[in-house]
Amino acid sequence: MSRTLRAPGLPPPRRILMRQVSLRARRHLGRWLDHLAPRACALCGTALAAGALSGVCTGCLLDLPGAARGRCPRCALPTAESPCLCTADSCTANSCAADPWPLDAALAVADYAPPFDRLIHALKFGRQLALARPLGELLATAWLGQTDPPVLDCLIPVPLGPERLRTRGFNQSLEMARAMSRCMGDRLPVLAHSLARRRDTPEQSRLGLAQRRANLTDAFIVHGRLEGCRVGLVDDVMTSGSTVIAAAQALKDAGAVRVTALLAARTD
């Protein structure tokens, strides 16, 4: 069996090195490498300007799928009107008319469509942890770009089940939340362990709408109380909304007064 020989003292390639260190070390190493070479746009590879807030270049940012569409402020579904004419009590997309609807607001960066969906897929299933940073930065950019963004007290990621976390090795929503917080100057604490899953559940993407809702009945538990807390609930993709709704209800039951879903992408 042939082996690739490396001269003594030469560092291994970045990809091999990144596989050999822990997740925490990988995050610190990535920041250090930023000082050695300019960051590239996560979508097109164009070099980013120094100090760029988002990990996506201006051109790609303007071309994000669905970025210019009006969205319901409670469920983030695209609406026919731009700007959206939905109110807190009326959704023209007919998604959040359900009672109760525990989400007070929802913000999505873009539609779950090419080429943006490739970033999320590569993060979740390709183990490209570095992509959590531009996704979190895009969330921060979208949040700060609102005319009058509501106050948040903390960020809480939608958790994975124990077995899926062991298999994947990281929670993509947690990594996005950390990146979002750093982009905002660490003003928002990330409560990584406040929300947990009681059990592993089947993949939502394989289930119908009714099955998705039943799948998540009593699936989440909150450790401690969140009395009076205004929570930013971070997740990668919202499809039927069953996961985010179940998580938001658990947070409300624990005392949160307001829950805003912060989503990298939304499906129609």
Residues 33-73: tens digit of each pLDDT: 555 556 788 899 888 877 666 788 888 988 999 988 888 88
Statement: residue 25 has pLDDT above 80: no
Q: Nearest-CA neighbor of 186 among 128, 122, 140, 121?
A: 140
pLDDT interval class at 1 (50, 70, 90): very low
What is the pLDDT averaged over residues 125-140?
92
DSSP 51-90: T-SSSS-HHHHHTSTTTTS-B-TTT--B-SSSS---BTTB
Give the tens place of pLDDT for each residue, 155-170: 999 999 988 898 899 9
Give residue 19's pLDDT: 43
Give residue 5's pLDDT: 34
148 or 190, which is more confident: 190
Statement: residue 193 has pLDDT above 90: yes
How far is it, in rounded angstroms, from Cα 228 to Cα 93? 30
How far is it, in rounded angstroms, from Cα 36 to Cα 94? 49
What is the pLDDT averaged over residues 94-111?
81
The reply to whether omega before 149 is within 30° of 0 (cis) is no
Amino acid at 175: E
pLDDT interval class at 186 (50, 70, 90): confident
pLDDT interval class at 217 (50, 70, 90): confident
Strands 195-197 and 220-222: antiparallel
**CA-CA distances (angstroms) from residue 263 to 39, 45, 91, 123, 158?**
23, 23, 18, 15, 11
Return the residue matching tokens 């895009």: 138
Statement: residue 105 has pLDDT above 80: yes
For the chain, counts of helices (H) and of strands (E): 9, 6
Asked if 43 and 27 touch (Cβ cutoff 8 Å), the reply is no
pLDDT interval class at 101 (50, 70, 90): confident
How far is it, in rounded angstroms, from Cα 11 to Cα 6? 9
Give residue 8's pLDDT: 34
**CA-CA distances (angstroms) from residue 57 to 31, 42, 47, 53, 123?**
18, 8, 8, 10, 19
pLDDT interval class at 11 (50, 70, 90): very low
User: How distant is the alpha carbon of residue 95 from its chain centre?
Assistant: 21
237 or 88, which is more confident: 237
